[in-house]
Amino acid sequence: MAASSSSGRLVRLAEILTESRIPGSRGDTASKLTVRLYGRGVVAKADAGGSEETRYFRRRAGQLIYSKLDCLNGAIGLIPPHLDGYESTADLPSFDIAKSVDPDFFLAFLSRPSFYLRFKAVAIGSRKANRVPADEFLATKVELPSRSEQCAIAAVLRASRERVAAAEALISALTEAKRNVMRELLTLGAARDPARLRPLRERWVVGRVAEGVEAAPEGWRLVPLTRVARLESGHTPSRDRPDWWDGDIPWISLQDTERLQGLEIFDSAETIGTEGLANSSARLLPKGTVVFQRTASVGQCSIMGRPMATSQHFANWVCGPEIEPRYLLQVFRHMTREWERLQAGSVLPDIYMPTFKKLQILLPPRSEQLRIADVGEAFDRRLEAERVHLSELRATRDALAAELLSGRLRLPAAVIARHAGADPGARAA
């Protein structure tokens, strides 16, 4: 059983890996580690329990480790420095890596499904407990490029991962910045002047944008949301009537979760016809309706850009003259923690329709609603642009890894030459 990278030396893993069997502690005292699935790293094991009869082995930083039980699920990793000296049983064997192999390259190479799924034919046990023995693992042949090419590939992949991580960090920072800014706007107003605050006349129970809000700017009102917007649900026409489907009416369903990330939604994965609408409890809702996903990915929401219908998995709000849909959308998007609280007790992620009837909203004058919505939308547009950029970076990262690790793409000789002097005993930083 052989796996290829690029033109190079064909070796068995046993030639470049040496199993480590340093005696460790008893199972009831060992500091244990485990390997996450699909190449997501090696971590300390949360469960500290174990039998004192179980034999453990001490593991060292930089060693390769895999799970016999979950090898077919990509449970392969490198032991990080902070877990040096942690232990595992023989079911998670570890190996010292030959100096002729770059560990970063090697881990990326082994973490591909095209590598670890090769062991399906030799795994031992039942369907739910397929173990990959160490001797089968070590007998596998792989074709490896020179160490300098390994190091060059690892450096390119590392740079690609770092660009993805930087984009993810920027999105997290923007999300946190929006949360902080919107909390002030939704509780203090655009002026952000605490001197304008007046005590609320009633308790804010359901629909809070922040904890501990007991006052609001002068001229703001705490009102039931149903007083200023009409709550509508949706429905699914019978699937037994194909003639009710594939019509001209957009019908928002759980398949449209990603579309709800935009400020407006215009299209849907499925459509229904006039007969489907007439023979179900679905409603054709007007442009400007705020659509809120109340099941599965709870909290995804947008504004209908044209008349649309929805399934029963949505709570839809047709805004009256006192509330601006753009403002309501920003309120809903800020209420992440409140939506989590309102799901408490549900077996599945779900907020029941009666709960929406209890929602209260802090309502500024309409002109201030628009100013607040402008700020929230500016953040959302930037976040959407960064998410698109992140998606492109991830696609590039994955494509580079697939091509470089398979050998279908070779790096220029000049790039490889820059790594010719890499210390074979050191792992690239």
Q: What would the pLDDT profile of 256-312 be if each residue is shown by its tens digit?
A: 999 999 999 999 999 999 999 999 999 999 999 999 999 999 999 999 999 999 999
SS3 state of residue 403 = helix
pLDDT for 427: 43
Residue 362 pLDDT greater than 70, yes or no = yes
SS3 state of residue 388 = helix
Task: Name the amino acid, one letter, at 391.
Answer: S
Lowest-pLDDT choice from 6-15, 147-156, 385-394: 6-15
> Contact 79/33 with Cβ under 8 angstroms?
yes
The CA distance from 61 to 68, in Å, is: 20
**Mean pLDDT value across residues 65-73:** 96
Radius of gyration of the chain from Cα atoms? 28
Share of the chain above pLDDT 70, in %: 95
The CA distance from 75 to 68, in Å, is: 8
pLDDT tens per residue, range 93-130:
999 999 999 999 999 999 999 999 999 988 887 666 78
Could you tell me the pLDDT band of residue 6, with boundaries at 50, 70 and 90? very low
Q: What is the DSSP letter of 211?
A: T
Residue 378 pLDDT greater than 50, yes or no = yes
Tokens read off for 284: 């054709």
pLDDT for 386: 98
**Mean pLDDT value across residues 144-162:** 97
pLDDT for 240: 97
The CA distance from 196 to 216, in Å, is: 8
The CA distance from 163 to 170, in Å, is: 11
pLDDT for 422: 64
Residue 190 pLDDT greater than 90, yes or no = no
pLDDT for 48: 65
Say how far residue 2 (Cα) sits from the centre of its chain.
Answer: 33
Share of the chain above pLDDT 90, in %: 86
Give rounded-to-5 percent helix, strand, coil for the chain. Answer: 40, 20, 40
